[in-house]
């Protein structure tokens, strides 16, 4: 489906073997609910790799990129829970990018997603126009595709190191552009070949892709409903 807001926090991470089971429990029971409960956060989703590196990809949809440097969110980043402190130290190969949503089309959620990181783009405005016009719509029309989203990494004012980021021990990688393609079935995602079409319209760009399966998703509205029910 089309993304719920105008901002996205896109995260890739690996995890040590010893901490992987704990990571999944923490992410479902504490971390995603905590994040989705912050004002301006609309939905969080986590995926696991079939192909690609690092193993886990997750992203949060927010009202705007500004939500991701808001006082409420920064307060959480600077006061990680004991469970968060334990798990975050086991992260590996972390990539974290605050994004503006350039284009987003679709309906419903797909079980599979192709997440494509794009770099070395020279003409930014021309690239955005070409991909939006020639790639996003074309992929969205293919069988089994339920959502296509083009994101642009931004340097958000106020996005300075936090207590949580320091726990990871090294600066996070970040992305210039991200293309996300959601599909109902793996075979239909492969048949759509989004990275191949992207390469036709982004000559010279650096493209890194992975295919991921949805593990867990939670919206702010679902969290509020569960809270109201007690």
Helix (H) or strand (E) holding 25: helix 20-26
Task: Give me the residue label for tokens 């939500």.
Answer: 67
Residue 1 resides in a domain: no
Give the count of domains, the chain.
Answer: 1
Q: Look at residue 73 in the predicted model and tell me its pLDDT.
A: 97
Tell me, yes or no, whether 2 lies in a domain. no
Q: How far is residue 66's CA from residue 222's CA, in Å, rounded to a whole number?
A: 23
User: Domain of 150: which CATH number?
Assistant: 3.30.70.100
Determine, yes or no, domain membership for 65: yes
Structural domain contains residue 132: yes
Q: Check pLDDT > 80 for residue 203.
A: no
C-alpha dihedral sign at 77, 19, 61, 210? positive
Average pLDDT rounded to a whole number, residues 82-104: 97
Range of the domain at 69: 7-229
Q: Is 123 a domain residue?
A: yes
The pTM of the full predicted model, rounded to 2 decimals, is 0.95
3-state secondary structure of 155: coil
Name the E strands within the chain: 7-15, 41-51, 56-62, 91-106, 112-119, 145-153, 177-183, 206-219
Task: Write the burial class of residue 24 (CB in 10 Å: 0-12 exposed, 13-18 middle, 19+ buried).
Answer: middle
Q: Which residue has the higher pLDDT, 24 or 155?
A: 24
């Amino acid at each position: 489906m089309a993304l719920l807001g105008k901002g996205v926090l896109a995260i890739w991470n690996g995890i040590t073997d010893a901490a992987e089971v704990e990571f999944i429990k923490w992410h479902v029971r504490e971390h995603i609910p905590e994040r989705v409960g912050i004002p301006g956060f609309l939905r969080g989703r986590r995926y696991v790799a079939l192909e690609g590196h690092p193993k886990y990809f997750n992203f949060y949809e927010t009202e705007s990129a500004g939500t991701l440097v808001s006082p409420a969110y920064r307060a959480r980043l600077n006061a990680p829970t004991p469970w968060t402190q334990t798990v975050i130290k086991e992260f590996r190969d972390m990539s974290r990018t605050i994004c503006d949503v350039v284009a987003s089309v679709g309906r419903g959620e797909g079980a599979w997603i192709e997440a494509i990181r794009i770099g070395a783009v020279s003409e930014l405005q021309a690239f955005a126009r070409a991909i939006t016009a020639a790639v996003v719509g074309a992929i969205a029309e293919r069988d089994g595709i339920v959502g296509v989203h083009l994101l642009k990494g931004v340097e958000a004012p106020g996005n300075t190191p936090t207590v949580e980021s320091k726990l990871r021990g090294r600066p996070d990688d970040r992305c210039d552009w991200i293309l996300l393609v959601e599909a109902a079935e793996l075979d239909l995602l492969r048949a759509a070949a989004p990275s191949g079409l992207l390469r036709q319209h982004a000559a010279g760009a650096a493209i890194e892709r992975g295919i991921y399966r949805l593990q867990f998703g939670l919206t702010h509205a679902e969290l509020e409903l569960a809270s109201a029910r007690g």
